[in-house]
Structure 1
Amino acid sequence: MENFSAFVSQPSALFQNSNLENEMGTSNKPPKLLVMEDYPSWADKFETFVQALNYETWTAIEEEYIILKNENGSNYRLSQIAEGDRNQFLIEKKMLNLFQQAIKAENFQLLQHNGSCYSIWQALLNKDRGNPDMRKSKMALLKKEFDIFTQVKGKTFAQLVERYCHLVNEMKRLGIDKPDYEYIDKLADALPEEWGTFIMIQQSNPVAYA
């Protein structure tokens, strides 16, 4: 009865815990990709999870595995695979299982791939990048967002830094790079007025500001 009361009284906490588990994964479950927009942050978590679980499994996406087929065009079963090829076959299957656990079924169906784990990873990457026109448009939008980046009234310093870091990561992911001093100056300009003295001190000290 107490457990039921906790469930009724704290549904938001349980929901948040469930979302956190989906986002971060657990010791034996990979983080989930629920929407394609989350791919950049998910990809890093997924890579870390797989490599920590079994680094050998990660090799399945580094080099394409040629799916073996019999004379009927069907995939070979493990019992039909030559002993020397079984390890790579099993690695491919383990990686495929992790993909199926991690990627929401509706998203998986939208990917264009040939069935190999390597092609699935490339399809995810291409899906995230979009076509050349979309990529060009997104890059232009990010550059403009960087140029006008500033403090938003009512937002905390932590929220400012989080928003800035997300913007910079998105820019770098699409190949937009700038000198370090431009990144530093942009963030410094966006800080609240009360930070002015601190910024002046830092700027007057080349070692600290570098």
Structure 2
Amino acid sequence: MLSCLYPLPSTLLQNINLENEMGTSKKPTKLLCMEDYPSWVDKFETYVQALNYETWTAAEEEYIIPKNENGENYWLSQIAEGDKALFLKEKKMLNFFKQAIKAEIFQLLQHNGSCYSIWQALLNKDRGNPDMRKSKMALLKKEFDIFTQVNGESFTQLIERYCHLVNQMKRLKIDKPNYEYIDKLADALPEEWGTFIMV
């Protein structure tokens, strides 16, 4: 009877994990570790743009909050009238970042405090330095070359794994013609799909 009134701990944990992964109408999806960045970034970008596209532009355009002679940020009341909209946009976007990025990740980002620099720091952290990027690209190309269905894997899992691989490749600007992507997926499907593929 009580379980009807109060969710079980495992259900609460599942709900929290789902909220972190998908976000809610009141908060964006949460980046809990950098390995999740490729799947997180599109969800976060879409969330903010859908809620307020004007705010999103703070991540794409550099804006430095004015500072006083002591090097401290001005308060809104101290900002020039024409600059207030930019100041508010920056603060709103900063709030989205702080809600969406785990504190430990946020602290490790190298940025100057502007939303633009935070966004660029995230991109750079995901891509890594040139050597890491080159190594990651080589690994993804090899993974693509040997991609096949794993024993016991469902069709849905196969497609999800394939889409994740292709998205990672495109994020690192590994370009292949569409027919290669199609052929690779067709080759990975079980033999019984051969007739459907031929059709």
TM-score, normalised with respect to structure 2: 0.95
Residue from 175, 178, 181 that aligns with 2:179 = 181
> Mapping of 1:27-66 within 5 angstroms?
27-66=25-64
In 2, distance between residues paired with 1:7 and 1:78? 43
Q: Any runs of at least 4 consecutive aligned residues in structure 1 with deviations exceeding 2 A, and if so which?
A: 3-8, 11-14
Residue from 87, 90, 93 that aligns with 1:89 = 87
Cα distance per residue 1:141-175 (max 9 Å; x no partner): 01001111111111111111111111111111101
Q: Secondary structure at the match of 1:7?
A: coil
Deviation at 1:28, TM superposition (A): 1.2
Number of residue equivalences: 199
Q: Secondary structure at the match of 2:7?
A: helix
In 2, distance between residues paired with 1:34 and 1:77? 31
> Mapping of 1:1-210 within 5 angstroms?
2-3=2-3, 6-8=6-8, 11-201=9-199
Counterpart amino acid of residue 66 in structure 1: I
What residue number does 1:208 align with?
none
Whose Rg is larger? 1
Unaligned runs of 5+ in 1: 202-210
The share of aligned pairs that are identical, in percent, is 82
Deviation at 1:7, TM superposition (A): 3.3
CA-based RMSD: 1.4
Q: Secondary structure at the match of 2:165?
A: helix
Cα distance per residue 1:73-132 (max 9 Å; x no partner): 111111111111111101111111111111111000000000000000000000000011
Unaligned runs of 5+ in 2: none
Deviation at 1:13, TM superposition (A): 2.9
Deviation at 1:12, TM superposition (A): 2.8
Cα distance per residue 1:25-52 (max 9 Å; x no partner): 1111111111011112111111111111
